[in-house]
Amino acid sequence: MPRRRKLKRRKRHPFRLILLSVIVLGLVFFAIMGVQTVQAIVHDLPKLQSDDYMSLGQTSKIYAADGSLLAEIYGTENRTVVPFKEIPNYLKQATIAIEDERFYEHGGVDYQAIARALLTDIGQGRLAEGGSTITQQLVKTLYVSDARTFTRKIDEAVLATELDRMVSKDTILERYLNSIYYGENAYGVEAAAQTYFGKSVKQLDLAECATLAGLPQAPSAFSPKEDMQAAVARRNTVLQKMADLGYITQPEANYAAAEPIDVHQGNSASASDPYFVEYVKQQLIQKYGEKKVFEGGLKVYTTIEPNLQAAGLAAIKKTLNQSGDPAAALVSIDPATGYIRAMVSSTDFQKSQFNLAVQAKRQPGSCFKPFVLTAAVERGVNPWKTFYMSKQIKIGLPQGGTWNVATYDHKYYGASSLAQGMLHSDNTVYAQLVMDIGPDKARDAAERLGIKSPMSDNPSIALGGLDQGVSPMEMASAYATLDENGKYSTPAAITRVEMPDGSVDFQAQPEQKQVVSDAVAYTVTQVMKQDVQGGTSQRAKLGRPAAGKTGSTENLQDAWFVGFTPDYSTAVWIGYPDQQIPMTHVHGAQVWGGGLPVDIWKGFMLAAEKNMPKRDFTPPHDKIVFKKLQGQYVLYSGGDSPDARGNAYGNAGRTTPNTLTTPNLNAPPDVDG
């Protein structure tokens, strides 16, 4: 019997050997196939570089002149990268505790976690648990798709292992904390801290760090803005995990778990001045391109003054406060630099992104008369001694036809100096003037002063009859040139642009260009100053030196007031933006330049000038020769104060006789046309 059993065992040995051989060969075959499969899968994986993988798209920030944040702009990801040393240790520890407790021990892939996850997946019959390390999650975010497939897992493992060999663990953790999604369109810990708690990540306490660390697994489900109960439970899970691993004590965990989650309800990425922000954004895109603007982490410092923005909007809302009122736009410029200090539109940015302050081109009416006067004074014309007849006239045009010119209300004043014609806003006087000096000269003066929209040589340029109109920005800029004694500065919105590393890529250098003589600019300014004192602009009196001009179009479709002090040049426009609708019944009355536009301008300027010292316009140092069109010359040498001389341009202390007179300010002002 024993012998028989021994024979049976001997007979089974060949079968065992054969079975063992088949198994070994099968394993070898599958190993070879697995290697080939992995090689095929990873063949097209991206090459990791030690430096380029650290380049993250970051949110660009736009700041006001006082340093306050105006807006954050980004493409698909709102992110601000912060260095590792500025991230609280609590947040680093909480993230490791809940996401990858063996982070500093494994080589990019945690095979223990994978085995544990595999058992879970087999038990549930689906890919329920990932077992991914922080390194694998980072690789998935940057380089591979988020599809839950076997192929993607291999990609992750290969790249994670390679990345772990290339850079330090701290570098990987820094990158992860700056790139991972935390919900509410916040990418990275800084954006998350601002979004959920309204402060920088370096200011977070233990409970807040645990709250953020719990979000990446399911940002919507654990968001305290969506489900506070779930957020608290998840935070407390993180805190307990930190205590279990020895990062904090149990009493510390218990204390933090008892704290309420105080959620910041504001949105740090919203634009408080959307039209100005959009204006700046478009300038940045022209210089840097969209990718750098939306992902480059630029810090952009601008010229805008929030208090002046608020004053402009308040002045518009106080004046146009009824349903169906027309729209308004206001632009204010610092004449010494060209810096835009306020840019306000009454329209809703959410409904229309059309910027009335910059993009709207409307007829300026009599606001163009100072440019005609500038061209005349440049040719020696004396605004106080050159007279035309104020009367309805017909002017024959060189190209044929007749130009019929009348005042708005058909009131006429006989012999009128150019200064008096300005105060009455007399169309007939300035129509005759533009024919004498030439419409091309008026156009040239307007261009040099700051009007950049196309203009023809049509004689109606004297009355603001332009081909396509002008913007409030242009008018504020052109008047600022007169304000600054003939020096033009390009309107500027950006003072400095910094890169994410703090280097300065752009620094504004305001440049002034003398485009008209300071004596010419001062002469025109004095006429406009008297218009505020007793002409069509007299509602604009501020109790300090100011100059300006009203403007209205023939059918009351546009109403303007543009005025300036030595501190600010400000343009206000009122009208209906979508249609040319006559403003004949707004608040029960017609809208003309000397009415509601002046009210808005004055409301804004009183606020803007509130803490500014009173000062007058600077007298010129140039010399100017006045002449009547008939050929009589009068010499004026600049540099003396008009107030000290007792009249507009007297010559006290000189041998040249005083031939200039102060215009009659007691004549009733005409309605501006």
Instruction: Reduce the secondary structure of 466-480 to three states and give it as a string.
Output: CCCCECHHHHHHHHH
Torsion angles phi and psi, residue 384, rounded to 5? -95, -15
Query: Could you give the percent of the chain with pLDDT greater than 70?
Result: 79
To the nearest 10 degrees (0 to 180), the angle between helices 206-213 and 89-99 is 40
Q: What is the pLDDT of residue 257?
A: 97
- Under 8 Å between Cβ of 638 and 621: yes
Could you give the domains of the chain? 77-257 (1.10.3810.10), 340-645 (3.40.710.10)
H or E, element range at 160: helix 150-166
Rg (CA), the chain: 37
Q: What is the pLDDT of residue 118?
A: 67
Name the pLDDT band for 151 (thresholds 50, 70, 90).
low
Query: Could you give the percent of the chain with pLDDT greater than 90?
Result: 63
Torsion angles phi and psi, residue 52, rounded to 5? -70, -25
How far apart are alpha carbons 231 and 522 in whole angstroms? 67
Name the pLDDT band for 122 (thresholds 50, 70, 90).
low
The answer on pLDDT for 149 being more than 80 is: no
Q: What is the pLDDT of residue 3?
A: 47
How far apart are alpha carbons 593 and 367 in whole angstroms? 9
Lowest mean pLDDT segment, chosen from 19-23, 29-33, 316-320, 326-330: 29-33
| More confident: 635 or 423 | 423
| More confident: 630 or 93 | 93
CA-based end-to-end distance of the chain = 133
> 251-305: per-residue pLDDT in tens?
999 999 999 999 987 655 456 689 999 999 999 999 999 999 999 999 999 999 9
Q: What is the pLDDT of residue 378?
A: 92
To the nearest 10 degrees (0 to 180), the angle between helices 369-378 and 472-483 is 40
Average pLDDT for 622-626: 66
Average pLDDT for 203-220: 96
HSE-up of residue 137 (Cα within 13 Å, Cβ side): 23
Q: List Cβ neighbours of 537 (8 Å cut-off, separation of 6 or more).
A: 528, 531, 548, 549, 550, 561, 563, 594, 598
Across the chain, mean pLDDT equals 83
List the structure tokens of 291.
Answer: 């990718």
The answer on pLDDT for 527 being more than 90 is: yes
Name the pLDDT band for 98 (thresholds 50, 70, 90).
very high
| Distant-in-sequence contacts of 441-446, Cβ < 8 A, 24+ apart | 441/375, 441/378, 441/379, 442/368, 442/371, 442/372, 442/375, 444/375, 445/371, 445/372, 445/374, 445/375, 445/378, 445/516, 446/368, 446/371, 446/478
The answer on pLDDT for 656 being more than 50 is: no
The answer on pLDDT for 327 being more than 80 is: yes
Lowest mean pLDDT segment, chosen from 217-231, 332-346, 485-499, 632-646: 632-646
The answer on pLDDT for 47 being more than 70 is: no
The answer on pLDDT for 195 being more than 50 is: yes
Q: What is the pLDDT of residue 417?
A: 95
